[in-house]
Amino acid sequence: MSETYLCTGQLPDHYQQLVKSVADFATSVVAPVAAKHYAEHTFPYEVVAGMGQMGLFGLPFPEDCGGMGGDYFALCLALEELAKVDQSTAITLEAGVSLGAMPVFRFGTEEQKQRWLPELTAGRAIAGFGLTEPGAGSDAGATATTARLDGGEWVIDGAKQFITNSGTDITSLVTVTAVTGKRDGGRKEISTILVPAGTPGFTVESAYDKVGWNSSDTHPLTFDGVRVPEANLLGERGRGYANFLRILDEGRIAIAALATGAAQGCVDESVKYARERVTFGRPIADNQAIAFQIARMEARAHTARAAYYDAAALMLSGKPFKKAAAIAKLVASEAAMDNARDATQIHGGYGFMNDYPVARHYRDSKILEIGEGTTQVQLMLIAREAGL
């Protein structure tokens, strides 16, 4: 990917073909079942299987890992198209790749990669990342879950919460951050450990009753004397927190792409509704107040897209991208929330009905300002990168 695409607005053919194929899938496969899964709080296994068959879970991974040989920007383009129609589906893919498979790819041993990645990149299995705890959210350094070595095994005790893709029938493992000792000066040594699903003592608690993302799988997890082999350490001991920050930096670009899709989906639905809805003998699109409101929505989506394109271009070129990723996440998540509010208002009473996509976007979009780094965290990162 070249940064010149940002200036020309032209993507190479292989990216354009990907966008078209995912958009067609979103329209023909995701959209018809999204409302039903959302209302019933059910995980869309048939949709996930379809995404797996398309290779979407393997987009940014090399072919020798079972991937498609693409890049992270390709994943972002797919997420944008899916999120226009259904955020629950998009976050299932985003978390499955950036939080599930990516840590294994980035930091795993060859044995770990060979064991886990083929199924994860094919979408036949998904994985979660257990970072957040009841007392450790934005302050991940407050991690209380512990892991100690005993007879060649890690013994894990603790709890995690808000963990995506952690309790489905195809969940294969969860990567867990845990305190494995202390550094000089008394600071916590935090490492990451792979815990396969079904390991004795590893309990997936009942799913959350959430405001939105109803067909995305999210659970609290508990670990009571969970034993896994010492070889399940992911990456270097004591580098768990640092490695996770790298994963989060990348993931913010993906979340920004998802949020951009949500923002654009609100625009598209509002344009359609404004053309069709007739009041006082004419379409409401003829009202300048409505037209200007939609114009502002379009401007927000455009700005969000430019921001995540820029962050992705920096990342793929090997340049520092932390600030750009934080800006993209900040701008895109706020665009999604603002556009969802405006789209609901444009739809009037229909916007309050869950049968309409804008109602789901209104319920779904708030978490985009919280998950994978709150708005306040993004502002803190941007300020630091600016030298403050």
Tokens of 320: 């520092």
Question: Considering 81, 250, 269, 372, which one is annotated as catalytic?
Answer: 372
372 assigned to active site:
yes
Q: How far apart are the C-alpha atoms of 103 and 101, rounded to whole Å?
A: 6
For 92, half-sphere exposure in the C-beta direction (CA atoms, 13 angstrom radius) is 31
Q: How far apart are the C-alpha atoms of 24 and 77, rounded to whole Å?
A: 13
Q: How far apart are the C-alpha atoms of 300 and 379, rounded to whole Å?
A: 18
C-beta of residue 170 within 8 angstroms of C-beta of residue 124: yes
CA distance readout (Å), 233 to 5, 108, 128, 227, 249 = 40, 9, 16, 12, 22
Q: How far apart are the C-alpha atoms of 130 and 193, rounded to whole Å?
A: 10
Q: How far apart are the C-alpha atoms of 265 and 284, rounded to whole Å?
A: 19
Question: Hey, which residues are catalytic here?
Answer: 372
